[in-house]
Amino acid sequence: MVDTLPRTGVLSANYVNLPNKSGVGFIGATTALKDDKLVVNQRLPGGAADISGMKTNDLIDAVADVRVEDELDLVKSLRKLSAGDTVAIKGSRNGNSFSKLTVLKYPPQKLSNHPATILQAAKV
């Protein structure tokens, strides 16, 4: 006789204390080169740049005391940091230097077109 009842297993592990942060740090702003200077182009409302007081057209000179000259330098600097990290972003506005302590956030989550995502969203 063949056993036709469904079988269920449980996978468990010891408690693991993970840090309360992960993922690449996100400042919540887009940047562009303007006159060979890295400037804030747009800010995400409620994003890290917005909360720290950065404004559109602010120049960004350094992240965590590492000089940034273009978008690639900025990405490389942020890639070393995680969401939840506090970092000093140095720059200037209208000729006045500033240093903004900025708590990095998680990047916004994209919804995919995968059927499981669509079905999950329909349940909400």
With respect to residue 3, please indicate whether it lies within any of the assigned structural domains: no
Spatial separation of the C-alpha atoms in residues 14 and 59, rounded to whole Å: 48
With respect to residue 40, please indicate whether it lies within any of the assigned structural domains: yes
Which residue range(s) make up the domain with 93? 29-103
Structure-token match 């940091």, residue found: 81
With respect to residue 57, please indicate whether it lies within any of the assigned structural domains: yes
The larger pLDDT score, comparing residue 12 to residue 60, is at: 60
With respect to residue 46, please indicate whether it lies within any of the assigned structural domains: yes
pLDDT of residue 13: 59
| pTM of the full structure | 0.68
pLDDT band with cut points at 50, 70 and 90 for residue 124:
very low
| 21 pLDDT above the threshold of 60 | no
With respect to residue 18, please indicate whether it lies within any of the assigned structural domains: no
With respect to residue 10, please indicate whether it lies within any of the assigned structural domains: no
CATH number at residue 88: 2.30.42.10
With respect to residue 79, please indicate whether it lies within any of the assigned structural domains: yes
Number of domains in the chain: 1
The larger pLDDT score, comparing residue 115 to residue 98, is at: 98
Report whether 93 contacts 59 (CB < 8 A). yes
With respect to residue 109, please indicate whether it lies within any of the assigned structural domains: no
